[in-house]
Amino acid sequence: MSESWPVGAAAPSLDDIARLAEVAFAALPEPFRTLAGDIVFRVDDFPDDDMLAELGMQDPFELSGLYQGVDLSRRSVLDAYEPARVFLFRRPLLDEWAERGDVTLAELVAHVLIHEIGHHLGLSDEQIHSIESR
């Protein structure tokens, strides 16, 4: 998949976003991929109502990605095992991409994916933003 989306092409599908996420994940340094471990990636059009309610949000376009699970800094061998998940939301991603105009869709998907993996590693939004700004 190319860096830019062809003019006049149909909007990227769920599978297109998933492929961009796979490429972004494969491009990460090996230690980062190893730490991500058994994380499951999923692409949906929008977050569901429960996700929005849990975050105190009403507008589904405000959320382009979400981490669900027990992050590595809080995980215990005594915890019941449930794989951690990173959700990417296609419609909010497409809207942000169109509104911004300063990044490719691949760059935006990679940014959101890395941000959510950061939460899996136990990093806060502030820590992730600090790392990104360096």
Q: Are 88 and 63 in contact (CB under 8 A)?
A: no
Q: What is the dihedral of CA 115, 64, 99, 10, to 10 degrees?
A: 120
pLDDT per residue as tens digits for the range 36-72: 888 899 999 999 999 999 999 999 999 999 999 877 7
The tokens for 101 are: 């105009």
pLDDT per residue as tens digits for the range 68-88: 987 777 776 666 667 889 999
Other Cβ atoms closer than 10 A to 114: 18
Tell me how far apart the alpha carbons of residues 89 and 19 are, in angstroms, rounded to a whole number: 14
